[in-house]
Copies of this chain bind each other. A is one copy, B any other.
Amino acid sequence: MAEGYKYEYFNVTFPAEYVAHVEINRPEKLNAFVEQMWLNLSTIVKRLSHDSNIRAIILTGSGDRAFTAGLDVTAASQGTLSQNSSDSARTATALRRHIFEFQDCITALEKCEKPVIAALHGISYGLALDLSLACDIRLCAADTRFSVKEVDIGLAADIGTLSRLPKAVGNFSWVKDVCLSARIFGSAEAEKVGLVSGVYGGKAEVVSEGLKLASLIASKSPVAVQGTKEILNYSRDRSVEEGLRYTAVWNQAMLQTQDVKDAMLSGLQKKTPKFSKL
């Protein structure tokens, strides 16, 4: 099965039933991203989204030092950020298309029908935030160093952090602080403000915990799990009233599943239910 998921900068493995492990694999550059990488990540995630063998995904960075150091600034400075037609409006058009494409690649994680768990460690700067905020669950190792780094390279972060972070945590003053100052903060601070939902000893431990959680989620009804992700993301962005209406219309189809009956029966019989592929 792993055959189909071969990419230069990503290792995709299947460590447990219904679980995919996507590893960013450019450790010699601290997993810094060049354009090919976000295009590939998007391809991988879109495919996993419709792959009925997968029910949960974990995203990690290879090597000991970094989840990812963010954008490969050297590459970027020779690519998009250096582009300059003689007309500002035409340059703007090229830049806008580029940003939209880049955003869409990262948003693929949020749109993926299956939950994605980010397990961070070490250096986690810039794009590390954009990426992990588009994931569903964020766990980190104790040694993780985070930074919303973009103001330090002269720009407002434009791949998602500024739009998702205010809704991911519970301290808007802190959000402004770290986004405006670009200062580095650690795992304890990340946990305190609600950026992560678990801090674990080291990289090995956080990856292991992430896999455990992925396996647990993968053991549930995929109809229930995928509906839950969908409705939570929908509701985050809308009024409670809109959320309730969408939920009812979603479930008018989904409650007709056999999974409800199987799950209930298994509950009564204290057995582990098996659910059809989805």
A residues near B (Cβ < 8 Å) are: 50, 73, 77, 81, 84, 86-93, 95-97, 99-100, 103, 107, 110, 115, 136-139, 150-158, 160, 162-177, 179-183, 193-198, 213, 216-217, 220-221, 223-232, 235-241, 243-244, 246-264, 267, 273, 275-278
Contacts and interface: CB of A to CB of B under 8 A. Distances in A.
The quantity of this chain's copies bound in the complex is 6
A267 B227 contact: no
Contacts of A278: 89-90, 93
7 contacts: A90-B257, A160-B244, A162-B247, A163-B231, A167-B235, A169-B171, A174-B197
Contacts of A226: 93
Contacts of A196: 173
B276 A87 contact: yes
A223 B154 contact: yes
Contacts of A251: 95-96, 99, 155-156, 158
Contact of A180 (B89, B136, B157, B257): B136
A251 B97 CA distance: 11
Contacts of A194: 169-174, 193-194
B115 A220 contact: no
Given A50-B97, A194-B174, A166 B256 contact: no
A81 B169 contact: no
A33 to B, nearest CB: 16
A217 B88 CA distance: 22
A175 B232 contact: yes
B166 A169 contact: no
B173 A170 contact: no
A267 B182 CA distance: 13
A179 B232 contact: yes
B263 A231 contact: no
A35 to B, nearest CB: 15
A172 B167 contact: yes
Nearest to A156: B227
B100 A151 contact: no
A193 B170 contact: yes
A4 B92 CA distance: 27
A220 B256 contact: no
Contacts of A84: 256
Nearest to A179: B228
B181 A217 contact: yes
B172 A225 contact: no
B136 A176 contact: yes
A177 B137 contact: yes
A73 B230 CA distance: 24
B172 A87 contact: no
